[in-house]
Amino acid sequence: MTTALVTGANRGIGRSFALELLARGATVYAAARRPEDVDLPGARPIALDITDPEAVAAVAELAGDVDLLLNNAGASTGADLLGDLERVRADLDVNFWGTLSVVRAFAPVLAANGGGTVVNVASALSWFAAPGASAYAVSKAANWAMSNALRLELAGQGTKVVSVHLGLADTDMAAGVDGPKTDPAVVARRTLDAVDAGQFEVVVDDWSAMVKASLAEDPREFYARYLPA
């Protein structure tokens, strides 16, 4: 039976991950900065701020039976790289450094439990930048590269690493953004199906597939929509 830890499990995609895992019979640690906000019957709420190294270490010691680490917690400040540098750092602190801190803490746990799997929730913005999301895009690009590197570094202990990419999901983070949005439950279901199938990467929606395909083309065509004529 799978024992999973889901970060940012109190709402949005994280909550949907926890619900889907519970439906599949998993034991679930539902981690959040405010565990009192976790409303998931059957899950074990646990306090975790992934930017706090001491908290990360304490959770790794407490949840020593985990074999699926689902790094969902994320931040999006809307910062531009030439704007408020503290907000730029805030995106990177959560989306890259915090996520890496959790993986580093749980790598020995996963090894002791047979290898297991790490799932890192990235974004279609791992592959492009857009106005008003510069810092977020950089942090998610780093998250994607981190997954690719960790896949190699953790292979020797039998740990699989999966990177998840999507456009807009119907969550609080995207509430003020117009455009088609994927149901978080669909994100969770497709991701966990991909984990079961042994995939390295989950491209959740058609928008993300289009963005990834554009990487092989001349970037001038893709960015023409954002640049002055």
The model's pLDDT over 117-146, given as tens digits with 9 standing for 90+, comes to 999 999 999 999 999 999 999 999 999 999
Residue 136 is a catalytic residue: yes
Q: Could you report the per-residue pLDDT of 91-107, keeping only the tens digit for each? A: 999 999 999 999 999 99
> Is residue 73 domain-resident?
yes
Chain position carrying tokens 């001491």: 54
DSSP reduced 3-state for 44:
strand
Q: Read off the pLDDT of residues 183-226 as tens digits, 9 standing for 90 and up.
A: 999 999 999 999 999 999 999 999 999 999 999 999 998 999 88
Whether residue 140 lies in the annotated active site: yes
**Which CATH number fits the domain that encloses residue 180?**
3.40.50.720
SS3 call for 162? strand
User: Could you tell me the strand order of the sheet in which 201-203 lies?
Assistant: 44-47, 27-32, 3-6, 68-71, 117-121, 160-165, 201-203
Banded pLDDT at 4 (limits 50, 70, 90): very high
Which of 156-165, 167-176, 177-186 is most confident? 156-165
pLDDT of residue 228: 83
Helix locations, the chain, DSSP H = 12-23, 53-62, 85-92, 99-112, 134-153, 184-197, 206-214, 219-223
**228 domain-assigned:** no
In a domain, 229, yes or no: no
From 165, 167, 176, select the one nearest 78 (Cα to Cα). Answer: 176
Count of other CB atoms within 10 angstroms of residue 102: 24
Has residue 219 been placed in a domain? yes
Range of the domain at 185: 3-223
Catalytic residue among 29, 136, 181, 226: 136
Residue at 218 is within a domain:
yes
Q: Cβ(166)–Cβ(205) under 8 Å?
A: yes
- Confirm whether 34 is domain-assigned: yes
Residue 18 lies in a domain: yes
Does 186 fall in a domain?
A: yes
Question: Catalytic pick from 140, 160, 223, 226?
Answer: 140
How many independent structural domains does the chain possess?
1
